[in-house]
Chains A and B, each alone.
Chain A
Amino acid sequence: MKITINVNNTVHELLVDSRVTLLDALRDVLGLTGTKKGCDQGACGACTVIIGGQRVLSCLTLAAGCDGQDVVTIEGLATGDELHPMQAAFLHCDGFQCGYCTPGQILSAVCAVQEVHAGVPSHVTRDVRQTVNAATLTDEEIRERMSGNLCRCAAYPNIVAAVRQVLFSSDLSTVAHSAEVEVRS
């Protein structure tokens, strides 16, 4: 079936079989291989992309259901040669080893930071009625909010450090500059 999909600000018209996932369409049809296939069953987070401003799993998303949607992949995060602050933070903090989970980690982290700035709670937030304060966010909160992205190299301490670096950065306007993350509540 025919779908129109906006990936990283480029509109594509694709002819896809109903069985094709967004993950396979991105990699095999559009050649955007930055999005990784880890478990292919919604358990690892390597395939994380941003649809309509929210982080989701592309391996459990049928491409046929993405008609008219806006998708951001890891290839759409930098502005030319200028890295997105989260990409720069992962480099600065050495937030990876083999790198396979990294695109998913970075896209997930970009959204996690936006969610924190929107004040929404997580499972470890002591009182869900309170608005979360980015300035006092604990590492436990960061780990919980990033728990959907597994890293078999266990680079977790440095991933948390990278998220913390962006979270506490004073220049928040750069955080979402190309991802246009939004939190609906």
Chain B
Amino acid sequence: MNAFAFERAAAAVDAARAVAARPGALFLAGGTTLVDLMKVDVLTPDTVVDVRHLGLSNIDVSDDAIAVGAAVTNSQLAWHPVVRDRYPVLAEAILSGATTQIRNMATVAGNILQRTRCPYFRDVHASCNRRQPGSGCDALDGFNRGHAVLGVSDHCIATHPSDMCVAMVILDADVYTVRPDGTTRSIPFRQFHLTPADTPHVEVALEHGELITHIILPHLPAARRSHYLKVRDRASYEFALASAAVILDLDGRTIRAARLGLGGIATKPWRATEAEHLLAGRPATDDTFRDAAEVALAGAGAREHSHFKIELAKRTIVRAFATARDANI
């Protein structure tokens, strides 16, 4: 690990200024991504600024929203009784990821900003446009079984690894930030993560030194009928091969409205809006869900080892919607 300075800040804007002042500085929260990647020299900050003690660890519940502090841990959010009641899909998504030890450390903002698990990104001897712009992508013709089939480009096919984000993208969460000059803004979750295109190293819509302060989850009564289904190589403690986050608003056996998010198969937390449009007004049958799955994966592009993920994702979508439909709510 390279030498670095460890700093603490007294307030969020001070942390933002401390990072903005140095191009090589990074925020440190739970450390489950950053410390891991520093050990393998993928990330080599000259300064880390600890942001866990800035008073951003509260979950504030009101009738029309829940405000989640950036430093709230994944466990805190998943175990919160109101989160479990209003947004089962969010609690389920978080609990399906990593382990209790890691969820106790990892923060909500850190989960949103976690880096890909692509093995070529994690190996400094491999070519990776995300880690080293212009160096190429060894995944394109390499071992790409775990890679994305949606939102890919000729420069990067790395999968976004988060489960939590797949739920947040269908909940229309907003990400609130503070910038080094003290100004604040909110970024809709759908616009927060970027597909790689020809700049894979630009992953999110944040400036250097811009700090996430909290997330707002708007009230969404339909989210009580929601579900997160994750398919993976092991029963626990494994990243998704395919996952689906669904919300189903039913009028009897007819779909009033639906939402669909996809994980494990896309370069960013994926919202399948065309599939959602198809579902509205149709009967809540497995055939309808299959039609939506076909639309959701219509633009998919697989590589040598990832063809199976397209059909796997379709079946995951059907089963997730069927489970939500049949839930006793």
Cα(A102)–Cα(B236), bound, Å:
20
Interface status of A108 (Cβ within 8 A of chain B): yes
Query: In this complex, which of B79, B92, B96 has the most chain A Cβ atoms within 10 angstroms of its Cβ?
Result: B79
Interface status of B1 (Cβ within 8 A of chain A): yes
Do residues A61 and B31 form an inter-chain contact, with CB atoms below 8 A?
A: yes
Cα(A36)–Cα(B280), bound, Å:
54
Which residues on the B side are within 8 Å of A129 (C-beta)? Answer: 84-85, 88
Do residues B105 and A60 form an inter-chain contact, with CB atoms below 8 A?
A: yes
| A123-B96 contact in complex given A61-B31, A183-B79, C-beta closer than 8 Å | yes
Do residues A148 and B102 form an inter-chain contact, with CB atoms below 8 A?
A: yes
Minimum Cβ distance to chain B for residue A123 (Å): 4
Which residues on the A side are within 8 Å of B6 (C-beta)? Answer: 1, 18, 62, 64-65
Interface status of A89 (Cβ within 8 A of chain B): no
Interface residues of A in 41-74 (CB under 8 A from B): 41-42, 45, 48, 54-57, 60-62, 64-65
How many B residues face the partner with a CB closer than 8 A?
39
Which residues on the A side are within 8 Å of B92 (C-beta)? Answer: 123, 128
Minimum Cβ distance to chain A for residue B217 (Å): 15
- B residues contacting A by CB (< 8 A) are 1, 3-6, 28, 31-32, 35-36, 39-40, 48, 50, 52, 73, 75-76, 78-81, 84-85, 88, 91-92, 95-96, 98-102, 104-105, 235-237
Do residues A185 and B76 form an inter-chain contact, with CB atoms below 8 A?
A: yes
Do residues A60 and B32 form an inter-chain contact, with CB atoms below 8 A?
A: yes
Cα(A145)–Cα(B91), bound, Å:
15
Minimum Cβ distance to chain B for residue A173 (Å): 23
| A42-B4 contact in complex given A121-B95, A123-B236, A144-B236, C-beta closer than 8 Å | no
| A19-B4 contact in complex given A60-B35, A60-B36, A147-B237, C-beta closer than 8 Å | yes
| A108-B101 contact in complex given A65-B31, A65-B52, A123-B96, C-beta closer than 8 Å | yes
Which residues on the A side are within 8 Å of B31 (C-beta)? Answer: 60-62, 65
Q: Provide a sorted-by-A list of 7 A–B residue pairs whose CB atoms are within 8 angstroms.
A: A18-B3, A42-B102, A56-B101, A147-B236, A147-B237, A148-B100, A185-B75
Do residues A54 and B104 form an inter-chain contact, with CB atoms below 8 A?
A: yes
| A122-B95 contact in complex given A41-B36, A61-B35, A65-B6, C-beta closer than 8 Å | yes
Do residues B4 and A21 form an inter-chain contact, with CB atoms below 8 A?
A: no
Do residues A45 and B52 form an inter-chain contact, with CB atoms below 8 A?
A: no
Which residues on the B side are within 8 Å of A118 (C-beta)? Answer: 79
What would 19 more interface pairs be, CB under 8 Å, given A65-B52, A144-B235? A18-B6, A21-B35, A54-B75, A56-B101, A57-B101, A60-B31, A60-B32, A60-B102, A60-B105, A61-B35, A62-B48, A108-B101, A115-B100, A121-B95, A143-B236, A145-B100, A148-B102, A183-B79, A184-B73
Minimum Cβ distance to chain A for residue B226 (Å): 10
Tell me which of A1, A122, A127, A185 contacts B80 (CB under 8 A): A185
How many A residues face the partner with a CB closer than 8 A?
40
Query: In this complex, which of B48, B73, B101 has the most chain A Cβ atoms within 10 angstroms of its Cβ?
Result: B101
Do residues A184 and B102 form an inter-chain contact, with CB atoms below 8 A?
A: no
| A48-B1 contact in complex given A60-B31, A121-B95, A147-B236, C-beta closer than 8 Å | no
Cβ-closest chain B residue relative to A52? B104
Which residues on the B side are within 8 Å of A57 (C-beta)? Answer: 32, 101-102, 105
Minimum Cβ distance to chain A for residue B41 (Å): 12
The 8 closest A-B pairs by CB, nearest first: A148-B99, A185-B79, A147-B236, A18-B6, A120-B79, A64-B6, A54-B104, A123-B95
Interface status of A86 (Cβ within 8 A of chain B): no
Do residues B105 and A61 form an inter-chain contact, with CB atoms below 8 A?
A: yes
A 2-42 to B, binary, CB cutoff 8 A, 1 in contact else 0: 00000000000000011101000000000000000000111
Cβ-closest chain B residue relative to A147? B236
Which residues on the B side are within 8 Å of A144 (C-beta)? Answer: 235-236
Cα(A21)–Cα(B28), bound, Å:
14
Minimum Cβ distance to chain B for residue A120 (Å): 4
Do residues B236 and A40 form an inter-chain contact, with CB atoms below 8 A?
A: no
Do residues B52 and A42 form an inter-chain contact, with CB atoms below 8 A?
A: no
Interface status of A111 (Cβ within 8 A of chain B): yes
Tell me which of A40, A42, A184 contacts B76 (CB under 8 A): A184
